[in-house]
Amino acid sequence: MRFLLIEDNASLAGAVVERLQMDGHAVDHADTLEAARACITVADYDLILLDIMLPDGDGRAFLESHRMAEKQTPVIVTTARSEVSDRVGLLDLGADDYITKPFDFSELEARCRAVLRRRGGVAANRIAVADAVLDSASGELRIGESRHSLRNRELRLLEVFFGAPGQVFSKSYLMDRIFSFSDEVNENAIEVYVGRIRKRLEGSAVRIETVRGLGYRLVAQA
């Protein structure tokens, strides 16, 4: 998944980016609202983590304008304010969730997973396609009685495919989902990761199929 972190505290932002990248997410960081607006004009994000107090304005104004533009990207607000009225106001403006600073990283990760599941219409961490089960919480791919521990980007790539079986994804789209602006990679990297997850799926009824000239899709054998 690709996240946008809008946070002006450099030490906190660095820690959040590092933790989310360890989970295999692509994370772009903006320390001002101006930088954040520039990011969303050139990239699509699966989730936005939004601070309220920023050097060039109030994050609530960003959230309100984001929703008025009918953009559905999930937004989790990070705030130092704990009053009920503040939290209710954020939800009414269109926030999908909020987390109060200082926060534990495991709670942040859990809230991210929960928001992404709700937006994807999935009620649990596990997604099954034929005889293969992807468990995002444990980072495992289960095929029958076999369990395969996944590297972080393998997990995120499989989440894309398992979330939409049969849909064709281009290399550029997949790159956008698992790499950030700071990652110096080309489309050959997607071929490498697709090769890895194909090996993980060996022995199951599920495979990653190449659609010549278009990209890849997940298919299940009848």
pLDDT digits (tens, 9 = 90+) for 18-38: 999 988 899 999 999 999 999
In sequence order, what are the residues at sequence separation of 6 or more whose Cβ sits closer than 8 angstroms to the Cβ of residue 72?
A: 119
Strand partners, 49: 5, 76
Percent of the chain with pLDDT strictly greater than 90 = 68
* pLDDT higher than threshold 80 for residue 122: no
Angle at 155 between CA 6 and CA 15, to 5 degrees: 30
Q: Which two tokens stand for residue 186?
A: 């080309």
Sign of CA dihedral 106, 111, 116, 120: positive
Q: Which two tokens stand for residue 36?
A: 């954040």
Of 128, 140, 122, 156, the closest CA to residue 220 belongs to: 128
- Provide the edge-to-edge strand list for the sheet that holds 47-51: 26-30, 2-6, 47-51, 75-79, 97-100
Q: How confident is the model at residue 138 (pLDDT cuts 50, 70, 90)?
A: confident
Angle at 195 between CA 191 and CA 201, to 5 degrees: 140
Q: What distance in Å separates the CA atoms of residue 157 and residue 171, rounded to the nearest whole number?
A: 11
What domains are defined for the chain?
Answer: 2-120 (3.40.50.2300), 127-220 (1.10.10.10)
pTM over 0.95: no
Average pLDDT value over all residues in the chain: 90
pLDDT in tens, 31-88: 999 999 999 999 999 999 999 999 999 999 999 998 888 888 999 999 887 677 887 8
